[in-house]
Amino acid sequence: MAEGGPKKLWGGRFAASTERLAEAFNNSLEFDRRLWREDLEGSRAHARMLARQGILGAEEAQAILAGLDRIEEEIESGVFPWRDEYEDVHMNIEARLTELVGEVGGKLHTARSRNDQVATDLRLWLRRALVGLVEAQQKLARVLVAEAERHLEPPVILPGYTHLQRAQPVLLSHWFMAYYEMLSRDTTRLLDALFRMDESPLGAAALAGTSFPIDRHYTAGLLGFLEPMRNSLDAVGSRDFALEALSTIAIGQLTLSRLAEELVLYSSFEFGFVTLPDAFATGSSIMPQKKNPDIPELVRAKAGRLLGDLVALMSVVKGLPLAYNKDLQEDKEPLFDAVDAYRASLELMAAMLPGLEWHPETMKRAAAGGFALATDLADYLARKGLPFRQAHEVVGRLVRYLQEAGRELESLSLEELRTFSDLFDEDALALLSVEGSVASRNVYGGTAPEQVRARIAEAKEELEEDAP
């Protein structure tokens, strides 16, 4: 079959008969071809074990291993004859093996079933994929920390929001670091999933184990698994490892979708805080003034799609009797889809963030406006001994007074302030600057530059330790 792989036949239109439709419906080659490398890995380990246990002769095993090497070369160079009549990647490889090495090829499947084979392949594939995702997460983590550091001096100030109403000014660096914290947790969740999936189903055979004297600990070791799975029914029938991976990936994509959404908002004309690099946005075909944030929008949308992947596989597994059921063939597409989308989103975000052009003046103006500094005045009065509830009320009156006059807090003089409370002194005026407001939140985890700088230093050390 050509590089594009076999055509998807079960669209119905292409099926000459219901028999052909059934055959095509059953066929998984189009997507499970992706497991070929892991299928070879699993087969090599199995063949070596069979020889070691005296189940295969040494020469037989040699012939099989040589055939598997040939197959690897054929697949890599694109000349492997993928054929629809062998319904999946496992049967394609086994059929080709027998063509290449003769009848002895058929001995590879001794003491094995496609049920433990596919469970093993998928775990091997997923393990590799998750390691790749963790690496991509770390790349993005480094970018977030670098961006946080870059905007610390001079400090770039962003309005912080609650309910999407301007609430209190924060450092842009603090905002970047919030995403760093979320992403770090997404990484530990993936590592947890990796740890739990690190056991080998190989040797469970169809569902009950095998009467051949195999050594499952040996194959588990060869494949780099911590240990063999302890129960053969569980080994071939469970997909919670895939569900766990999908859940953590979906959560990870949710993190990215929130970051993406903020960029969509902040790059709009209404906010005007940031301009996206051209490569990550497109112009409108009819409205010359527009620059559409396509990439962030798609990252945002993929979160919905990945939730769909997760729900799809959960629904497949729900209520399935033990052990293997063909339903489980449907585990792969959602998993592949989610891994691909998350991987691409991580890479695109990492590439995009350093190219963002922030507009500090606009951001600062927004941060100062909308009475974002009102809490600081209330805190001031509370520090002077006024109960916070009363302080809140005094400042509330002050804000209404200014709103009616169409004025902002910065325009207040000390005399005016004192008409609302004689607790106000000269130093209260300093609070009416966003810099002063930010600097005053000097508590662990707060947005004061001192705190953020300390956290950035720590994060750099964390990333140093994790460096591959």
Kindly list the catalytic residues: 163, 284
In 3D space, the residue among 114, 106, 104, 148 whose CA is nearest the CA of residue 32 turns out to be 114
Q: How far is the CB of 324 from ligand ARG (least distance, A)?
A: 6
* 3-state SS assignment for residue 265: helix
Specify the stretch interacting with ligand ARG by CB under 6 A; choose among 157-165, 272-280, 303-311, 320-328. Answer: 320-328
* Residue for token pair 């001995």: 107
**Tell me, what amino acid is at 12?**
G
- Residues with Cβ within 8 Å of 385's Cβ and at least 6 positions away in sequence, in order, are 423
Running DSSP on this structure, what letter comes out for residue 151?
T
**What are 46's two structure tokens?**
């199995």
Which span (59-67, 207-215, 257-265, 326-334) binds ligand ARG, by CB under 6 A?
326-334
Least distance (Å) between residue 92 CB and ligand ARG: 11
Nearest residue (CB) to ligand ARG, 114 versus 151? 114
Is residue 433 close enough to count as binding ligand ARG by CB under 6 A? no
Task: Find the part of the chain contacting ligand ARG (CB under 6 A) among 292-300, 322-330, 354-362, 371-379.
Answer: 322-330
Q: Which residue, among 456, 462, 377, 463, has the nearest Cα to 420 in the 3D structure?
A: 377
For residue 211, how many other CB atoms are within 10 A of its CB? 8
Asked if 115 touches ligand ARG (CB under 6 A), the answer is yes
Say if residues 370 and 166 touch (Cβ distance below 8 Å): yes
Please identify which residue in 30, 38, 41, 88 interacts with ligand ARG, judged by CB under 6 A: 88
Nearer to ligand ARG, 87 or 149 (CB): 87
Choices 110-118, 348-356, 387-395, 408-416; region in contact with ligand ARG by CB under 6 A: 110-118
Strand partners, 157: 171
Phi-psi region of 246 (alpha: psi -120 to 50; beta: other; left: phi over 0): alpha
Query: In the complex with ligand ARG, which residue's Cβ is closer, 147 or 331?
Result: 331
Q: Which stretch binds ligand ARG (CB under 6 A): 9-17, 112-120, 171-179, 361-369?
A: 112-120
Q: Quick one: which segment of 160-168, 262-270, 324-332, 400-408 binds ligand ARG (CB under 6 A)?
A: 324-332
For 106-141, b/e burial (b = at least 16 CB within 10 A) is ebbeebbbbbbbbbbbbbbbbbebbeebbebbbebb
Q: Which is nearer to ligand ARG, 115 or 200 (CB)?
A: 115
Does the footprint of ligand ARG cover residue 348 (CB under 6 A)?
Answer: no
Least distance between ligand ARG and beta carbon 328 (Å): 5
Burial class (CB in 10 A: 0-12, 13-18, 19+), 278: exposed
Cα–Cα distances in angstroms (integers) from residue 243 to residues 30, 212, 331, 334, 341, in the given order: 22, 32, 9, 10, 16
Q: Which is nearer to ligand ARG, 88 or 262 (CB)?
A: 88
Residue 158 bridge partners (DSSP): 170
Looking at the Cβ atoms of 28 and 168, the one nearer to ligand ARG is 28
C-beta of 32 vs 41, nearer to ligand ARG: 32
Closest approach, Cβ 189 to ligand ARG, in A, equals 26
- The CB-of-118 to ligand ARG minimum distance in angstroms stands at 4
Residue bearing tokens 């760093």: 180
Under the binding rule (CB under 6 A), the answer on residue 329 touching ligand ARG is: yes
Dihedral angle sign, alpha carbons of residues 246, 248, 254, 259: negative
Residue 147 within binding range of ligand ARG, rule CB under 6 A: no
Measured in degrees and rounded to the nearest 5, phi and psi for residue 442 equal -95, 55
Q: With contacts defined by CB under 6 A, how many residues of the chain interact with ligand ARG?
A: 10
Distance separating alpha carbons of residues 204 and 207, to the nearest angstrom: 6
259 Cβ contact partners less than 8 Å away, ≥ 6 residues apart: 179, 296, 299, 349
CB of residue 33 to ligand ARG, shortest distance in Å: 11
Q: Are 338 and 250 spatial neighbours (Cβ–Cβ below 8 Å)?
A: yes
Closest separation in Å from C-beta 208 to ligand ARG: 13
Residue closer to ligand ARG, measured from CB, 118 or 303: 118
Binding mask 202-241 for ligand ARG (x = CB under 6 A): ----------------------------------------
End-to-end CA distance of the chain: 38
* Minimum gap (Å) between residue 330 Cβ and ligand ARG: 8
Which window, 113-121, 218-226, 259-267, 309-317, contacts ligand ARG (CB under 6 A)?
A: 113-121
- Among 114, 174, 216, 364, which residue sits at the site for ligand ARG (rule: CB under 6 A)? 114
Contact (Cβ atoms closer than 8 angstroms) between residue 452 and residue 437: no
Minimum distance, C-beta of residue 340 to ligand ARG, in the bound complex (Å): 18
Element (H, E) at 127: helix 114-150
Report whether 183 contacts 349 (CB < 8 A).
no
Query: Bridge partners of 275?
Result: 357
Name which of 232 and 329 has its Cβ closer to ligand ARG.
329
118: contact with ligand ARG by CB under 6 A = yes
- Residues 23-62 within binding reach of ligand ARG (CB under 6 A): 28, 32
Residues that bind ligand ARG (CB under 6 A): 28, 32, 88, 114-115, 118, 324, 326, 328-329
